[in-house]
């Protein structure tokens, strides 16, 4: 007799699960019963042959696992529904609204996910559990045996009964206990046929009894997964109808044939290690993405073949992937579309039109522009206008994380990859964003080491996790963004040229607010509505706002709108604006002085005349925008020992005098009209 310990989440389901186990295994087992809801685990046996842990919450599962000796066998069961209950739900018309009532929020969401996986997608479910709110206008309640928690407003209740062990779980329990007779039992065959999901465990079945051909045929025929069996010589010995359809084979012709001859495309993607150990990954057969899993067949300590399980990467699986992301509270979804980008200026309309056309392609996009111009808003909109709109949108700021942390976030890591790596490893953002979009903000903050790894992913469309040894294919569209002049960083050797040209396939420059004319008033009106305030700008105030350089762009405008709302005025006059705005927008005198330059310029340059004059002359020679890196290089060629910070400070001073227009994007810095007048007064070398 085998000793089993059964742990369930709810006390009400524990006797039901125990009854099933006794019905299947009878006097061959003895049971100890525990529930997370009512019991502690201090009296739990530590010498049981098998522990069946059906705790649904992460905390409860961890608590139970910490009690079980590490060398003991554990089965974490999957649970499903009987086919007849699912058939009842299939009769409900599309658009039906129903409460899904269960013991906890996790169990409610898990039940909804399982029903969706089984094809019940026409019902709009609302999770309801003890202590939650519930929609009073929804009259139908559906519950897996928890009718005691159905709200009083429900006029109709469909009780599906407690969810039941899947066929896979019963197979796993039987084989863990050494009950090799179980797969052939009539009880199991009848039970599996009554389930909505019959299960798909084959490798363990084969190693338990190689000659159970009848059961193998029944199980293979009942599955919706493609199954292919290959022996040690590479000859096909098993093939179900789903695999026939997926691979374009006919069973009577394929059985006994070499896989290399029958399906070369699949054979070349199966490595020797796949045939000897469990593997799972995404492959592509023709134009179709396939989830491929392999399970070796061991007989008397010898590997005699393997099963290959094939499952199409369907739209339903994509929705389940997104649902799992929501369960992990990651929320990888795009929020905005192009209509959310406010602006009617010619330059903004052109930029949106260009971005919309580029969204329809699959190439990488590089967004450049000053901080606060809306690069992330454009990234969201491009994703929503692309063919990947239904897939995840994942964003990360490359400058906000250290190199090692950014690497593990992007590529994930395997268990034991480094000190502190969590058990089981971690998926990276490239895996979460598969078939979707990955937005890399402030790409210039990425180290050159990571730039090389990113370039490889873009070229080869595959990567390895940190500490891993398995190649993972990926299909991700990259949208990168930067506040800096990336090309200038390339010239300085601070950004890889090959990665720049790979990312810069489709460049989009987002215009700063100061170049968008009266868009700033449209945006201000939107921000007022968002804040629940309303006021007007007088003509004088509008003139000041138009002349102001808006270095912080929309973020700075948002701060101003909030500040002015505190004044409580219906009409905002020029004198109501902050003093720094009035000063920055005021015209600057450009009258010549005997020693050259304006008086303000002379006062600002006092003690640093050579450096100030050099920068003005360098911008004058350029004739267009010039980056800080280029100015630094030219200064050193002239023998001026300036630092980049000193150049930044001088440009800020000249900008404050109205002599220079400073851009943190690709535009660089350039002389204003007043700066051009100053240039004529200076003696430039």
The pLDDT value recorded for residue 592 is 41
pLDDT computed for residue 204 by the predictor: 41
| Strand stretches in 56-152, DSSP E | 74-75, 79-80, 96-101, 123-128, 140-143
Q: Give the least confident one: 124-133, 210-219, 422-431.
A: 210-219
pLDDT range class, residue 564, cuts 50, 70, 90? very high
pTM, two decimal places: 0.47
Whether residue 442 is predicted with pLDDT greater than 50 in this model: the reply is yes
Is the confidence at residue 165, as pLDDT, over 60? yes
pLDDT band (50, 70, 90) for residue 97: very high
Q: 221 pLDDT band (50/70/90 cuts)?
A: low
pLDDT at position 265 is: 85
Can you tell me the mean pLDDT for 437-465? 91
pLDDT for 323 beyond 60? no
- Residues of 163-188 as b/e, b for ≥16 C-beta within 10 angstroms? bbbbbbbbbbbbbbbebeebbeeeeb
Mean local confidence (pLDDT), 131-151: 92
What confidence tier does 175 reach under pLDDT thresholds 50, 70, 90? confident
> Among candidates 47, 157, 30, which has minimal Cα distance to 101?
157
pLDDT of residue 451 exceeding 50, the answer is yes
Residue 673 has a pLDDT of 76
The pLDDT value given to residue 679: 84
For residue 70, the model assigns a pLDDT of 87
Q: How many CB atoms lie within 10 A of CB 245?
A: 11
Dump pLDDT digits (tens) for 624-680. Answer: 778 888 888 888 888 888 887 788 888 888 887 888 877 655 567 888 878 888 888
pLDDT tens across 543-554, in order?
899 888 888 899
Instruction: Mark 519-546 as b/e (b = at least 16 C-beta within 10 Å).
Output: bbebbbeebbeeeeeebebeeebbebbe
pLDDT of residue 682: 81
Higher-pLDDT residue of 361, 181: 361
Q: What is the pLDDT of residue 51?
A: 93
pLDDT tens digits, one per residue of 324-337: 455 344 556 788 99
Predicted pLDDT of residue 453: 92
Span 102-127, mean pLDDT? 90
**Is the four-CA dihedral 105, 111, 116, 117 of positive or negative sign?**
positive
- Asked if pLDDT for residue 101 goes beyond 90, the answer is yes
What is the model's pLDDT at position 151?
93
Would you say residue 561 has pLDDT above 90?
A: yes
Query: Residue 232: is its pLDDT beyond 60?
Result: yes
Model confidence pLDDT, tens digit, residues 343-356: 999 999 999 999 99
Q: Is the pLDDT of residue 559 over 50?
A: yes
Cα separations (Å) of 571 from 519, 536, 538, 541, 581?
A: 19, 5, 6, 10, 18
In the predicted structure, residue 187 carries a pLDDT above the cut 60: yes
- Tell me, what's the pLDDT at 56? 67
What is the per-residue pLDDT across 377-422, written as a single tens digit (0 to 9) for each? 999 999 999 999 988 899 999 988 888 889 988 998 887 666 555 6
Question: What does the pLDDT read at residue 60?
Answer: 79
- 265-299, pLDDT tens digit by residue? 888 888 887 788 887 788 888 877 788 888 888 87
Please state, in angstroms and rounded to a whole number, the distance separating the CA atoms of residues 238 and 251. 8
Mean pLDDT of the chain: 83
The per-residue pLDDT for 641 is 80
Burial 1-16, CB ≥16 within 10 A → b, else e:
ebebbbbbbbebbbee
pLDDT digits (tens, 9 = 90+) for 51-92: 999 876 777 788 888 889 888 999 988 888 999 999 999 999
pLDDT score for 4: 93
């Amino acid at each position: 007799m085998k000793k089993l310990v059964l742990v369930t989440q709810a006390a009400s389901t524990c006797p039901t699960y125990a009854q099933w186990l006794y019905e299947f295994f009878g006097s061959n087992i003895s049971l100890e019963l525990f529930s997370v809801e009512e019991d502690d685990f201090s009296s739990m046996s530590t010498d049981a042959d098998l522990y069946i842990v059906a705790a649904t919450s992460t905390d409860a599962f961890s608590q139970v696992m910490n009690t079980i000796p590490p060398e003991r066998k554990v089965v974490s069961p999957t649970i499903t529904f009987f086919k007849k209950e699912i058939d009842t739900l299939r009769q409900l018309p599309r658009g039906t609204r129903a409460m899904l009532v269960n013991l906890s929020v996790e169990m409610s969401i898990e039940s909804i996910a399982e029903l969706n996986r089984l094809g019940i997608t026409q019902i709009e479910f609302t999770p309801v559990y003890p202590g939650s709110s519930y929609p009073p206008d929804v009259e139908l309640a559906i519950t897996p045996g928890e009718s005691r928690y159905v709200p009083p407003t429900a006029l109709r209740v469909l009780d599906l009964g407690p969810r039941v062990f899947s066929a896979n779980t019963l197979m796993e329990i039987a084989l863990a206990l050494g009950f090799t007779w179980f797969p052939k039992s009539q009880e199991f065959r009848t039970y599996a046929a009554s389930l909505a999901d019959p299960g798909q465990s084959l490798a363990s079945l084969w190693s338990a009894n190689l000659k159970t051909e009848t059961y193998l045929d029944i199980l293979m025929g009942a599955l919706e997964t493609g199954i292919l069996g290959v022996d040690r010589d590479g000859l096909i010995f098993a093939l179900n109808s789903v695999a026939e359809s997926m691979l374009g084979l006919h069973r009577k012709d394929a059985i006994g044939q070499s896989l290399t001859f029958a399906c070369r495309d699949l054979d070349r993607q199966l490595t020797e290690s796949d045939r000897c150990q469990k593997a799972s990954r995404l492959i592509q057969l023709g134009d179709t993405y396939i989830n491929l899993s392999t399970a070796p067949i061991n007989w008397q300590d010898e590997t005699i073949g393997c099963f290959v399980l094939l499952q199409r990467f369907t739209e339903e699986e994509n929705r389940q992937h997104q649902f799992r992301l929501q369960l992990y509270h990651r929320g990888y979804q795009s929020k905005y579309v192009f209509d959310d980008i406010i602006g009617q200026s010619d330059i903004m309309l052109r930029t949106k039109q260009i971005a919309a056309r580029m969204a329809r392609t699959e190439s990488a996009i590089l967004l450049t522009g000053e901080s606060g111009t809306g690069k992330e808003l454009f990234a969201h909109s491009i994703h929503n206008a692309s063919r990947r709109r239904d897939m995840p949108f994942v964003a990360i700021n490359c400058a906000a994380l250290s190199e090692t942390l950014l690497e593990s976030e992007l590529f994930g890591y395997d268990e034991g990859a480094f000190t502190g790596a969590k058990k089981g490893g971690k998926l990276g953002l490239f895996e979460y964003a598969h078939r979707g979009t990955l937005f890399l903000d402030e790409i210039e903050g990425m180290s050159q080491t990571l730039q090389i790894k990113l370039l490889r992913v873009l070229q080869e469309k595959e990567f390895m996790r940190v500490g891993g040894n398995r190649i993972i294919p990926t299909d991700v569209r990259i949208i990168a963004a930067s506040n800096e002049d990336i090309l200038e960083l390339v010239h300085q050797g601070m950004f890889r040229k090959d990665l720049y040209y790979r990312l810069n396939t489709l460049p989009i420059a987002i215009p700063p607010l100061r170049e968008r004319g009266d868009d700033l008033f449209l945006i201000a009106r939107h921000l007022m509505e968002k804040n629940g305030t309303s006021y007007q700008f007088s003509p004088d105030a509008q003139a000041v706002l138009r002349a102001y350089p808006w270095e912080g762009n929309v973020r700075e405008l948002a701060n101003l709108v909030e500040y002015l709302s505190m004044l409580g005025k219906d009409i905002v006059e020029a004198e109501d604006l902050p003093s720094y705005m009035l000063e920055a927008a005021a015209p600057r005198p450009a009258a010549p002085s005997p020693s050259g330059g304006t008086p303000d310029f002379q006062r600002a340059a006092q003690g640093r005349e050579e450096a100030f004059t050099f920068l003005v002359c360098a911008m004058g020679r350029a004739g267009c925008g010039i980056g800080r890196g280029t100015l630094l290089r030219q200064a050193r060629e002239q023998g001026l020992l300036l630092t980049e910070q000193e150049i930044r400070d001088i440009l800020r001073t000249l900008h404050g005098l109205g002599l220079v227009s400073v851009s943190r994007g690709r535009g660089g810095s350039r002389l204003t009209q007043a700066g051009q007048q100053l240039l004529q007064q200076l003696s430039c070398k």
